Amino acid sequence: VTLPPQADAETGGTRPRTIPEASVTRLALYLRVLGELAKLRKDLSYIGSYGIRGVGYEVVSLSVELGRALGLDQMQSVALVGVGNLGHALAGYPGFGGRGFPVTALFDVDPDLVGIRINGIVVDHVREIPRVCGERNVTIGVLATPAQAAQAACDLLVGAGVRCILNFAPAVLQVSADVEVRKVDLAVELQVLAFHNARRHGGEHPGAVAGTGGTRGHSESGHGVNGHAVGRVGGTR
């Protein structure tokens, strides 16, 4: 199969009068994507030359290469520590299991939680981390514990050989240099949203945003800051 870049530019033959609602939704997405085509090709070129000149990209082989570049060919296996509300939600989040990161182990300290099954996986006690992570070849640890339990859980994972930690707990972790930790702050996007909103509707504020200049008037996760450049800022420009 090949990806014909202008699949939607019908030539003008017979066509149904009405466009299905679901299709309209996707068309809006395509429009946005279309505006980023140059960037897309550049991005793909960074992982190598896997397209066919004059034709397009062969979907299967491109997918394979993209997956390889993203490390998805390396059989990831995720352990999730902390099965409270957030952990429970993450265990069932489609973006985890569905995109190459199967959650294969769950841990908690709460006796009420240890033993229950979530999505077919039994919750083990945190003290089992060394054994279970070894057995299931865990490569990524996700922390969804309360703040005060995060460091201990992290240490257990690292001790079990896990070298990638995704930290949802509101705590800063201390790890040795060979471990990569990424901290997720669920409120950051909220701040950004409030910031943009303050400029659009709110009272006058100093400063003016640098502005991406090129937003194509779309309303997704955006920039779209209205340029009421009230007040003064960095003098430049």
Partner DNA sequence: ACCTGTGAAGATTTTCACAGCA
Partner DNA sequence: TGCTGTGAAAATCTTCACAGGT
What the block records as the tokens of 10 is: 């019908």
Q: Work out the number of other CB atoms within 10 angstroms of the CB of residue 189.
A: 10
Q: At its nearest, how many Å lie between its own copies and the CB of residue 14?
A: 28
- Give Dmax (Cα) for the chain: 66
Q: Is residue 50 at the binding interface for DNA, with CB under 7 A as the rule?
A: yes
Q: Is residue 6 at the binding interface for DNA, with CB under 7 A as the rule?
A: yes
Q: At its nearest, how many Å lie between DNA and the CB of residue 209?
A: 8
Q: Binding DNA by CB under 7 A: which of 92, 115, 130, 231?
A: 231
Give the total residue count for the chain. Answer: 237
Cα separation, 147 vs 168, in Å, equals: 9
Cβ-based nearer residue to its own copies, 11 or 216 = 216
Cβ-based nearer residue to its own copies, 14 or 91 = 91
Task: Using the rule CB under 7 A, give the single segment among 18-26, 48-56, 118-126, 135-143 that binds DNA.
Answer: 48-56
Cβ-based nearer residue to its own copies, 136 or 163 = 163
Q: Which helix (H) or strand (E) holds 182?
A: strand 180-183
| Contact positions with DNA (CB under 7 A) in 200-219 | 210-214
Task: Using the rule CB under 7 A, give the single segment among 1-9, 99-107, 119-127, 144-152 that binds DNA.
Answer: 1-9
Q: Which does 102 bind (CB under 5 to 8 A by kind): DNA, its own copies, none?
A: none
Q: How many CA atoms lie within 13 A of 130 on its CB side?
A: 5
Cα separation, 92 vs 88, in Å, equals: 7
Cα separation, 129 vs 138, in Å, equals: 10
Cβ-based nearer residue to its own copies, 1 or 177 = 177
Cβ-based nearer residue to its own copies, 26 or 127 = 26
Q: At its nearest, how many Å lie between DNA and the CB of residue 44?
A: 5
Contacts 24+ apart (CB under 8 A), 151-155: 153/81, 153/82, 153/107, 153/126, 153/129, 154/181
Q: At its nearest, how many Å lie between DNA and the CB of residue 165?
A: 23
Which of 168, 170, 166 has its CA nearest to residue 147?
170
Q: Binding DNA by CB under 7 A: which of 39, 117, 182, 201?
A: 39
Q: How far apart are the first and last CA of the chain?
A: 49
Three-class secondary structure of residue 181 per DSSP: strand
In sequence order, the β-bridge partners of residue 140 are 78, 164
Q: Which does 177 bind (CB under 5 to 8 A by kind): its own copies, DNA, none?
A: its own copies
Q: Is residue 98 at the binding interface for DNA, with CB under 7 A as the rule?
A: no
Spatial neighbors of 31 by CB under 8 A, at least 6 apart, are 218
Q: At its nearest, how many Å lie between DNA and the CB of residue 42?
A: 4
Q: Which residues bind DNA (CB under 7 A)?
A: 3-6, 36, 38-39, 41-42, 44-45, 49-57, 210-214, 230-231, 234-236
